[in-house]
Each structure stands twice: as C-alpha cells, then as structure tokens.
Chain A
Amino acid sequence: MADLLQGTLDMLVLKSLQLEPMHGWGITERIEQWSNDVLQINQGSLYPALHRLTRQGFITSSWRVTENSRRARYYALTAAGRRALAAEQESWERLSRAVDVVMRMAPS
C-alpha cells in the first residue's frame, strides 16, 4: 500500500472507533475490512498513532477482557475526538473532492 498522506492514518483510526471501542488489532482489521484490504495498517505506524491520539486527548484507552477472555487495551473516542473526527472528515471531503477534480482534468 502506498504511504498514506500525513495525518490520514490518525483520521482513519478515529473513524474506525466511531461506532465502538476497539483494540489495536481490531482497528487494523476494521480498516482493512472497510477498505477491502486495500489499506493495510502497519503496526509500526498504528501504535505510535494511537499514543499520539491519546496524548492529544482524542481517544482514551482502558484494559478489558476480550470475548476470548484475553486482556487487551481498548481505545474509545472522547468528545474532543468526535469533534476532531467531524472536522477532519469535513476537510478530507473538501480535499478529496479537490484532488478528484484535478485528477479528472483531461490534458488538452
């Protein structure tokens, strides 16, 4: 997979947590699943991103027991996270539309 744009991974993580709290592995699977395996999340980027977001106060984490009785750290959106996600979503849509328009231009 090509490198994601700077900041895009953070947005994807926030997005994946929109419905429910999840652990790191779950986030990877969720994004891969939603993107039909196009977006493969590299652990080397994911965990730093999770910590970055935690530090920024957009997500919080807590240890819980999984359905298979394993201990795992679950991440959840905070109110600030939701606001940030909304803002990111809006700016992304604007950006992707713009990129889309540019890319559709036929060279004359």
Chain B
Amino acid sequence: MFLIKLLAQFRSAMGLLAGFTSERTHEQDLDDELQFHLEKAVERNVRRGMTADQARRAALVQFGGRVQWSEATRDERRSRIVDDFVRDVRYGAATLRRSPGFAASAILTVALGIVATVTVFSFINSIYLRPLAVPEGRRLVRISGGDRPDGEQELGFPAFRELRRSARSFDMVAAHYSTAPLYMTARGESAEARGAVASADYFRMLGIRPALGRFFSVTEDSVPDRDAVAVIGYGMWQRRFGGDTRVLGETVTINGRAFSIIGVAPDGFDGVVAGFPSELWIPAMMLRTGYRWCNAFEATCAITSIIARLAPGATLAQARAEISAMTPRLAALTDPGDSLRVIATTPATGIRVAEQRQFAQLSALLSAIALVLMGVACANLSGLLLARGLSRQREIALRTSLGAGRWRIARQLLTESSIIAGVGGVIGVVLSLWTSRALVGFFATDSEGYLHTYNVSLDGRVALFAVIAALGAVMLFGLFPALRNSRVDVAEALKVGAGGSASRGRARVVLIAGQVALALSLLIGAGLLTRSFGALMSSQEFDPRHLAQLRLRPMLMGYDHERAVPYLHRALESIRAQPGVIAAAPVRGSLASQVTGRVTIALPGDVPVAKENATRVEYFDIGPDYFATLKVPVLAGREFSEHDGPSRPLVAMVNESLAKRLWPHGSAVDQTVLLNGKAFSVVGVVKDNRVHTMSEASPAMAYVAFWQNAFVPQVDARVTIRVAGDPLRALRELHRAASVADPAVPVTELLAKESQMRATFTELRLGGAVLIVGASLALFLSAIGLYGVVSFLVTQRAREIGIRLAVGARPANVLAMLLRQGFHPVWIGGVIGVVASTAAAPLLSKWLFGIAPSDRLTIVVALGAVGLVAMLATYLPARRAARTDPATVFRYD
C-alpha cells in the first residue's frame, strides 16, 4: 500500500505539471462532462414519466444546492488560488474570442476612454510635471521672484552672482536667457536662430556631454564681451552644417559679431525651457550681444533666469530654507522697483511657471472633457456587458448550478472586463502617442511665428497613469455588471425562452441617461466655443484676409536711432515698391498684442495729480496710413500722414471709447490731450477695433505717430502690409524686398495676419476642436447604447408585441409605444445634461466672447441634435418590432 501511495503521489505531481498546459481543455471537458451527465439525468427522469420541463428541473435540483461539486472537482485538481486567475484569464480570452464583434467594440470603447485620458494627462505632464531630459533632471530647480500674481520675476545678474557665490544647498547655479534673438550668418546663409545665453556652469550643471568639441570654459565666461564663442545644437549642426566635423573653429556672425563655434550639443538636448527649444548658445558674458535693450548685467535689466542643481544630499526643503534666509540680501541686489519680498525655489519641471498658469484653465477643460469621454465609454460598456450578461445567463446559470459561488462568477466576469481594459488600454496608449502630438501641435507656432515643441513622449508617469486609468475603467464599467450578472435565478434562466429581468433593463436605462447627459453637455460646450469663435471672427472691425506682417530688427545689429531711421525708410519704400503690395505701415510694439504700453492721460484743465495716482491709458505707436492699411474706418478727422514728422507739433488719435470718455458731449478733433505730461493735438477718431487681441470690449486707446518719436526714439519696427493676393505666398518676396535695404539687418516674424490670429486663438480653437470631436464620439456611443436598449426592450417584449398585434393593435401604435419608452432615458439625460453644462460653464468662461454660457440657441440646437440622433437610434429597432409577424413570436413555445 505504501509503495502504491508513493507512486500515486508521484503521478499526481506529474499530473499537476501536465495540468498547467492543458488547462483550457480541462475546463471545457469538465463543462462537457457535466452537461452530458445532466442530460442523462434528464433522460432518465423523462423515462420515469416526467414532462421535459419537470425532468430538467428535477435534474437541476439534484445537481444544485448544497454540493458545490464542480468547484470541488476542480479543487481536487490543484490548489486554486494560484491558477484561478490563470484559468479566468484563459477562459475570458476564449470567451472573447468566441464573440469577436462584442470584443472588438468593447475594446475600442475602452481604448477611446483611455486615449482621451492619457492624451490629456500627457499634455498636463508635459506642461507641469516633466523634468528636463538630462541626467538627474529631478534635482534641478528654478529660482525666481515668487510673489507676482502674473508669474515669475527674474532676479537679475547681480543676485545670480551672489547666489552662485554663497548658496550652499546647490552643486552649481547657472544663469540663462533662453529666448535670446540670435541672428546667425553661417556659410553664406542668414537666419534667425533660437538662441540662448548661458553661464559657464550651465552645461556642466546639466551633466551632459558635447556631441563634438567642448562647452564654455570658466575663463570664457569671466570678462564681458571678450570671448565670442558659440555652441550649436545637434539639429542645427545637421541642418545647416550637414553634420560636418570641421564646423569646430568655424567663424559665424551672430547679431553682427564674429563668433567661433567650439562645440555641438548632444542629440536631443534643446535647452532648459520646455516649450522653447534652444539651438545656439553663447556665454553669459556675451549677454549684450544677445540682448540690446538694456544692460543685462545690471539689476534693473533682469532678463536672465536662474537654474540650479541641488547639492548631493541636499533636499528641496533645505534649499528653500537657505534661499528664504538669503532673501533680504538677494532682494537688495535686485531692482528696487521690483520690491521683491519672496524668492521661490521650484522644481524645474514642465514649462515656465508663468505659462503654466496660463494653461491652467485649458488643462481643466481638457481634463473635464477626457473624464466625460471616459465616463461615457464606461457607461456604454457597462450597458453592453449587462446586455451580454443576459445572453450569457444560461452559461452562468449552468456554472452556478454546478456549484460556482457568486463571487467566483463575478471574479470571472471581472477578469473578462480586465482583459478588455488591458487590450483597450494598450491600444489607447499607442494611439495617444499620436493624439498627444496632435494636441501640442496646436501650439507649434505662436502668434509671433516662433516655434514651440512640447515633449509628450511616453514616460514613467504617463505609463503609470495609463495603468491606473485602465484599472479605474474596469471598476467603472466592469464592477456593476459583474455583480449584477453573477446573480442568476438558475431555474428561471434555464427555462427555454426566458426573457431578461426588468431590473437589468432599468440599470441600462440609467446608464443611457447618463451617457446622453454627458454627450449633451459636451455638445453644448462645443456649440458655445464655435459660436464664440464665429462671433470673434465676424465682428472684426478690420479685414485680415490680405494682410501680412514682418519685423525689422536693426537694433540686433547695434543700430541707433540715427542709423535706423534712414534704414527703416529705405526698407518701407522697398516693400511698397514690391508688386502686389497695396499699402505698408510701420508700428512699434508687437502686432500680436494690442498695445505698446501705458501712458498717463489728462486734459489741460485738470488739477495736476501725483504720478502714482494718474489715470493711465493704453497706447500704440503707428505709422502713416496704418488704419487705411487695416481698413479700419476713421470716424472723424484724419489719420497720421507722412507730414507728422519729428519736427512737427505732436499729434494723437483716439478710439471711440476714449473719445466718449474724455469729450462725452463734443468733438474730439482739435482738442488737446496730455499723454505722459506732453501736449498732443487730437487729429482723428478711429472706430474701436480689436486688431491685436481677442477680447470682448475694446479698451480706451490712444495712438501716437510713429515718426514723431513721442516717447522713445524708434529703432526697430514691425510692418503691417496689405497685399493684393495671398499673403502667405507673398512672404518670401516681402522678406527679400525688406532685406534689400540692408542685407545685414534681420527681418523676422514673417506672418500672414490670419495665421497670427489663429495662433492668438489657439486655445479657443483647440478647446472647440476637442469638444466637437468629444461630443461626436459621446453622441455616437450614446446612440449605440440607446439602440441596444430599445432592441433589448423589443426582444424582451416580443411576445407582448405579438399579442398586441394579433388582437388588432396597429403597428403605428406599437411603434409609438416603443418610441415613448425608448425616449425615456433621453428626456432624463437631456434635463441632467442642460443642468450639468450650466454648472460646468465656468470652465469655458475664458473663451466666451459675446455669448452667454447659457445661450438659449446653442442649448436648443444641441438638444435638437441629441433628440434627432436618439430618435434614429430608437426608431430603427422599434420599427422592426412593429413589423413583427405575430405568428413567429409564438413559435418558440
């Protein structure tokens, strides 16, 4: 006996090994075997004189109940905890393979939710969380003035020197100015480079090695304006130098000065300001070549940012404590005008803090849309699984009768959901690589034509988020159906021709109502943004279609006012002489923003007030015929002409708003106004216009004549140009024409006005586009869900419908009844959706111009669209039912 048992145990061990490999067949065999047994029992009961129904019920009674024998049988095979999971996965995969249609739609639905959430998270990760892609990037921090509501205030060069000298929490401290306009001429070709000015420690601190040559030495960064050396980016090296290694030692001209190239940065490194890629670096001591508006070595010209690496062992908290202790000393070294009280030490993650704040509302909106899509996808899938539970009731009943506990069944169903979520998640993540690039692609060009790249490649945080999102999805869509579907009334379920239970139908109605509500609120949001964009575009007081613009930058080449004026005149003449050019006018300040600056404003009779308390108004320096070029009407008087030169009396124009404010009862023309204390004679009133900004109301504006140099002597100019044809096509020729005046002077920011406006409205366009796509998907999913519910309703009530038709109900009556019931969730969802969209309206507030968040028309149109889609989704299955031939319905029994 002993020997036999030993032998048996050995075999059992072998069986265990074999068992792993043949699990699936075992599972199926077991089911088959039990099915066979059940049928044999039924046959015997029938032989003993029972009806088929009684026989089956009796056999089941014999089967079910206290003996959990199927599970017990499995327990005999091997320990369950380990392989229940493996078995569930295999069984689930097999089940899904058997219904590929269901599997595909379920997986795609999850993928949709995942792609939405992961894309938005990728975006947020890039904007807020991602450290710089350098070794130990997590230990880099930014140091800046931190008590400005509008963002960071840079500390300036003297404070940087003090930090570098005495701060102990940092390994190295570097100063950089990463938006330096560097205009480089190399190998006979001139172009603006995305430049950066960086102190000697910059590269060492980042811990990167040059691809070629070397980085700046400390001696090259010790004497101002002496060492003209440059490091170029890998991309520029490939693009402009063809990857030529002889580039080392080559002389290039940067902003009019000869520089020697000493190194090439490694591939993939593009500076320390996410979103603003750098491709050309010069030492901090060459700051005055990179920036000419003020002396950047002085505290009053604080343009350099400070980045530092925490010393080994030092924590962020320690660094903050030290900086906080140093604050009075550092603040004393900054511009007194900044009255700096707080210095912030923040991890160098994401883009610049000031821009992070600008992205806050967009991030919130995108997150909300992603969550709504995830919610709709999960609700849809939940409904799908509930419906599927119905068709699987027999299978589940059989397993239950064979002794599987409810939790066991629920776990099996949840495993299936997890497989769906897993596969959908992987697909979603792969798709998100593309969609997140498309998302940041909206920000690729800003309103001044500069490039921005945001890194949205897959990293650990995004991967972790995707896993959490997938698990969350399983909980959202899988848990309820698993619990619901695992509860089966065995005897009912195994009866032939049994319908579904009413409570499952109710659950699906609730899910559909939720989807309709979410889809509707997205649709309303999409409508609001679309209408807002339309209102903005149609209410422009000027004609942007044939406008081009460019920037003449003699200051970069060291021109002063006296040299710049003849140059600007030559350049403008050359541009105007270009065929196809109708008009061209110079302006000072950005064409992408509304104003040049603010000046105090007063009338001659006013009581003088202290400068701090003076009323201020926004103003703009504009050249002759500026409004004619833009086609903005001049309402009274005239606009500036070539005669309004430096030796003539100062003249000004005002817009309607300012004219009404200053002279509510009389004409503004020929009045005198004091701007910054200087007397100007008002020569004209121009219609309020929003040429450079998107805002609802135009602020009060004053205009002064460009050539009169009323507040500062002109050097650089932006030029707005009206052309006959397509401004995009004209840009190249305009560039050439402008360069004729002086080939050395950089001509930059060449843009068509419409492109620039599009860039100004990027957030609005992006929000609108994402909302439209999201709303369409949500609506589509809701429609599918609704279709499913009505189809289910129809099947469930096939017999009742048959009877109604048989006793003489008209098909139209039946159709109406079904439509009424199918529309039930749509009404509920519609009401919830309108309420929800009103509650969520603040998310959109930033982009709503000339339209209220509760705009009736938008809501009515959105409701109409949802109603139409719902009508279609209900009508199709209902019509089928109404056409039923009563005879077929009863044939089952």
CB within 8 Å of B: which residues of A?
A: 23-25, 42-48, 50-52, 54-58, 63, 70-73, 80, 83-84, 87
Residues of B within 8 A of A70 (CB): 36
Task: List residues of B whose CB falls within 8 A of some A CB.
Answer: 1, 4-5, 7-9, 11-12, 15, 29-30, 32-34, 36-37, 40-41, 62-63, 66-70, 72-73, 75-77, 403
Closest to B64 in A: A44
15 contacts between A and B (CB under 8 A): A23-B36, A25-B40, A43-B62, A44-B72, A44-B403, A47-B33, A47-B34, A47-B69, A47-B70, A47-B72, A47-B73, A48-B69, A51-B77, A56-B8, A87-B4
Residue of B1, B62, B70, B76 with most chain A CB atoms under a 10 A cut-off? B76
Measured CA separation A46–B403 after assembly (Å): 14
Say how far A26's CB is from chain B's closest CB, in angstroms: 9
Which residue in chain A gives the minimum CB-CB distance to B403? A44
Is the beta-carbon distance between B67 and A42 smaller than 8 angstroms? yes
Q: A43-B63, A44-B403, A47-B33 known; A25 and B70 CB under 8 Å?
A: no
What chain A residues lie within 8 Å of B32 (beta carbons)?
A: 71, 73
Residues of A within 8 A of B15 (CB): 54-55
Q: How far is the CB of B2 from chain A (nearest CB, A)?
A: 11
Q: A25-B37, A25-B40, A57-B12 are in contact. Are A43 and B7 (CB under 8 A)?
A: no
Residue of A43, A71, A72 with most chain B CB atoms under a 10 A cut-off: A43
Q: Known A47-B70, A48-B73; judge A25-B12 contact (CB<8 A).
A: no
Chain A residues near B63 (CB, 8 Å)?
43
Which residue of A is nearest B9, CB measured?
A56
Chain B residue numbers with a CB within 8 Å of A23 are 33, 36
- Which residues on the B side are within 8 Å of A43 (C-beta)? 34, 37, 62-63, 67, 69
Which residues of B lie under 8 Å from residue A73 when comparing CB positions? Answer: 29, 32-33, 36
Consensus secondary structure, chain B interface: helix
- The secondary structure that dominates the A interface is helix
CA distance A45 to B15 in the complex (A): 21
Chain A residues, Cβ within 8 Å of B4? 80, 83-84, 87
A14 → B minimal CB distance (Å) = 12
C-alpha spacing A63/B63, complex, angstroms: 23
Contacting residue for A44 out of B36, B41, B67, CB 8 A = B67
In whole angstroms, what is the CA distance A19 to B8 when docked? 22
Closest A residue to B74 using CB positions: A51
Q: How far is the CA of A44 from the CA of B30 in the complex (A)?
A: 13
Instruction: Say yes or no: A51 contacts B76, CB within 8 Å.
Output: yes
Name, among B1, B33, B34, the residue most crowded by chain A CB atoms within 10 Å (CB to CB).
B33
Decide: B36 and A63 in contact? CB cutoff 8 A. no
Q: Do A56 and B11 touch (CB < 8 A)? A: yes
Asked if residues B33 and A24 are in contact (CB atoms below 8 Å), the reply is yes
Closest-by-CB residue of B relative to A49 is B76
Task: Note all chain A residues with C-beta closer than 8 A to B33.
Answer: 23-24, 47, 72-73
- B12 near A56 with CB under 8 A, answer yes
Quick one: which of A54, A57, A71, A72 has the most chain B CB within 10 A?
A57
B12 & A55 in contact (Cβ 8 Å cutoff): yes
Min C-beta distance of A69 to chain B, whole Å: 12
CB-CB nearest in chain A for B26: A51
Give Cα A23 to B29, complex, Å.
13
In the complex the two chains form, is A48's CB within 8 Å of B76's CB? yes
User: What's the least CB distance linking A21 to chain B, in Å?
Assistant: 14
- Contacts A47-B30, A87-B1 given; 15 further ones with Cβ under 8 A? A23-B36, A24-B33, A42-B69, A43-B67, A44-B67, A44-B403, A45-B67, A45-B69, A47-B73, A54-B15, A56-B5, A56-B9, A57-B8, A80-B7, A84-B4
Contacts of B30 in A (CB 8 A): 47
**Complex: A73 Cα to B25 Cα, angstroms:** 13
In the complex where A25-B41, A43-B62, A70-B36 touch, is A48 in contact with B72 (Cβ < 8 A)? yes
Known contacts A43-B62, A48-B72; is A63 also within 8 Å of B29 by CB? yes
**With A and B bound together, what is the CA distance between A46 and B67 in angstroms?**
11
Specify the chain B residue showing the minimal Cβ separation from A71: B32
Cα A52 to Cα B69 in complex, Å, equals 13
Closest residue of chain A to B59, judged by CB? A43
- Most chain B CB within 10 A, of A44, A54, A72, is at A44
- Could you tell me the distance between the alpha carbons of A44 and B34 in the complex, rounded to whole angstroms? 11
Are B75 and A48 touching (Cβ within 8 A)? yes
Chain A residues within an 8 Å CB radius of B41: 25
Residue numbers in A under 8 Å from B1 (CB-CB): 87
The residues of A that contact B75 with a CB separation of less than 8 Å are 48
- A84 partner residues in chain B, CB cutoff 8 A: 4
Closest 9 pairs (CB-CB, A-B): A44-B67, A44-B69, A57-B11, A56-B8, A25-B40, A51-B76, A47-B73, A55-B12, A48-B72
Q: Could you say which of B5, B11, B68, B73 contacts A51, with CB atoms under 8 Å apart? A: B73
B26 to nearest A CB, angstroms?
A: 10
Complex interface: chain B residues within 8 A of A44 (CB): 66-69, 72, 403
Residues of B contacting A72 in the complex (Cβ-Cβ under 8 angstroms): 33, 36
Q: Which residue of B lies closest to A83 (CB)?
A: B4
Chain A residue nearest in CB terms to B10: A57
CB neighbours of B67 from chain A (8 A): 42-45
Q: Measured between alpha carbons, how far is A63 from B860 in the docked complex, in Å?
A: 66
| Complex interface: chain B residues within 8 A of A87 (CB) | 1, 4
Bound complex: CA A58 to CA B73 (Å): 16
CB distance from B12 to the nearest CB of A (A): 5
Q: Are A25 and B36 in contact (CB under 8 A)?
A: yes
Q: Which residue of A has the minimal Cβ distance to B39? A: A70
Minimum Cβ distance to chain A for residue B60 (Å): 11
Q: Are A57 and B7 touching (Cβ within 8 A)?
A: yes
CA distance A54 to B36 in the complex (A): 19
Chain A residue with the shortest CB-CB distance to B32: A71
* Nearest CB in chain A: distance from B3 CB, A: 9
Set of chain B residues within 8 Å of A55, measured between Cβ atoms: 8, 11-12, 15, 76-77
In the complex, A45→B40 CA distance in Å? Answer: 17
In the assembled complex, the CB of A86 is this many whole angstroms from the nearest CB of chain B, namely 10
Closest chain-A Cβ to B215's Cβ sits at a distance in Å of: 71
Q: Please name the residue on chain A nearest to B78 by beta carbon.
A: A55
Query: Which B residues lie within 8 Å of A47 (CB)?
Result: 30, 33-34, 69-70, 72-73
Q: With A and B bound together, what is the CA distance between A25 and B41 in angstroms?
A: 8
Chain B residues lying within 8 Å of A54, measured Cβ to Cβ, are: 15
Cα–Cα, bound, A72→B32 (Å): 8
Q: Given A25-B36, A25-B41, A47-B33 in contact, is the A80-B8 Cβ separation under 8 Å?
A: yes
- Minimum Cβ distance to chain B for residue A108 (Å): 38
Residues of A within 8 A of B36 (CB): 23-25, 70-73
CA distance A10 to B549 in the complex (A): 95
Across the two chains, which residue of chain A brings its CB closest to B15? A55
Tell me how far the C-beta of B70 lies from the nearest C-beta in chain A, rounded to whole angstroms.
7
**Which residue from chain A places its CB closest to the CB of B41 in the assembled complex?**
A25
- Residues of chain B within 8 A (CB-CB) of A51 are 73, 76-77
Query: Which residues of B have CB within 8 Å of A50?
Result: 73
Q: What's the nearest-Cβ distance from chain B to residue A41, in Å?
A: 11
- Cα A51 to Cα B26 in complex, Å, equals 11
Distance of B437 from chain A, by nearest CB (Å): 55
User: Which of chain B's residues have a CB closer than 8 A to the CB of A83?
Assistant: 4
A47 to B74 CA separation, bound complex (whole angstroms): 9
- Nearest A residue to B66, CB-CB: A44
Once bound together, how far apart are the Cα atoms of A87 and B37, in whole Å?
A: 30
Provide the bound-state CA to CA distance between A23 and B41, in Å: 13
| Cβ distance A9 to chain B, nearest Cβ, rounded Å | 12
Contacts of A56 in B (CB 8 A): 5, 8-9, 11-12
In whole angstroms, what is the CA distance A45 to B70 when docked?
A: 10
Shortest C-beta distance, B569 to chain A (Å), equals 99
> Could you tell me the distance between the alpha carbons of A54 and B68 in the complex, rounded to whole angstroms?
20
A58's closest neighbor in chain B, by CB?
Answer: B8
Q: What separation, in Å, do the CA atoms of A45 and B4 have in the docked complex?
A: 23
Q: Tell me whether A24 and B37 are in contact in the complex, defined as CB-CB below 8 angstroms, given that A43-B62, A55-B12, A58-B8 are known contacts.
A: yes
Q: Which B residues are in CB contact (< 8 Å) with A71?
A: 32, 36
Q: Tell me the nearest residue of chain B to A26, going by C-beta.
A: B40
Residue numbers in A under 8 Å from B9 (CB-CB): 56
Q: Which residues of A lie under 8 Å from residue B7 when comparing CB positions?
A: 57, 80
Please, how many angstroms separate the alpha-carbon atoms of A87 and B5 in the complex?
12
